[in-house]
A and B are shown apart, each in its own frame.
Chain A
């Protein structure tokens, strides 16, 4: 089993809709969690960190469920510019940052 797993998609969502992704991780001792966004043929960029109490940044909401060992990303009122691949990242401790395989999102006009 991979240490960090995501549904690869693709998710094809109409503009304005709400979409959510989950990411599961294998190690209950994992220390910190992030969502990154990657556009085609570019380097990944930090979208947001994920905090234990959940956190929001504009249209984006991240949640952490330590008991079930998953993190989630919710995007509200989706825009065409949200089309990208979304990658979850888990710090398993000692600075070992592991990426999920990514979820590809396409927003349809």
Chain B
């Protein structure tokens, strides 16, 4: 079972470049999430989608955009990458209504 698949695993960008992080889940989950994790900061919510067709800002949405393409896929886009966006990014999903979060394996992004 694939669960939550997140790509790429590693990425190096130059300042100003753009990229999209892809996330897909095969568990028919309603809710999907993007978090970033920095040393000593825990996981901070960037954006989330409570259901197909809806997206909402989390704690740190600035510099990011998201698309809930369909129920399976939730992508995160950096339009103009900045060094402050160097981080580990996690995608997650859950059924909603109390179900546990299932995480992807993370993307290590470095912006030079």
Chain A residues close to B by CB (< 8 Å): 3, 6, 8, 32, 34, 36, 42-46, 49, 87, 89, 91, 94-102
A39 to chain B, nearest CB (A): 12
Q: List 10 A-B contacts (CB under 8 A).
A: A32-B98, A43-B106, A87-B43, A96-B58, A97-B45, A97-B48, A98-B58, A99-B35, A99-B44, A99-B45
Give chain B's interface residue range (CB within 8 Å of chain A).
20 to 34
Q: Which of B1-57 contact A (CB under 8 A)?
A: 30-31, 33, 35, 40-45, 48, 50, 56
* Residues on B with beta carbons closer than 8 Å to the beta carbon of A99: 35, 42-45
Most buried by A among B33, B40, B43: B43
In the complex, the answer to whether B56 meets A94 with C-beta atoms within 8 Å is yes
Given known contacts A34-B100, A94-B50, A99-B44, what 9 new A-B pairs fall within 8 Å (CB)? A45-B103, A89-B101, A96-B48, A97-B48, A97-B101, A98-B45, A99-B35, A99-B43, A101-B41
Chain B residues close to A by CB (< 8 Å): 30-31, 33, 35, 40-45, 48, 50, 56, 58-59, 90, 94, 96, 98, 100-101, 103-106
Total of A-B residue pairs, C-beta within 8 Å:
56
A51 to chain B, nearest CB (A): 10
A32 to chain B, nearest CB (A): 6
Overall SS of chain A's interface: strand
In the complex, the answer to whether B98 meets A49 with C-beta atoms within 8 Å is yes
* Residues on A with beta carbons closer than 8 Å to the beta carbon of B48: 95-97
In the complex, the answer to whether B105 meets A95 with C-beta atoms within 8 Å is no
Give A48's nearest chain B residue, CB to CB.
Answer: B100
* Residues on A with beta carbons closer than 8 Å to the beta carbon of B106: 42-43
CA distance A91 to B44 in the complex (A): 13
A93 to chain B, nearest CB (A): 10
Contact among A43, A49, A91 for B103, CB-based, below 8 A? A43
Q: Which 9 A-B pairs have the closest CB atoms?
A: A101-B42, A43-B103, A95-B50, A99-B43, A46-B100, A95-B31, A102-B42, A99-B42, A32-B98
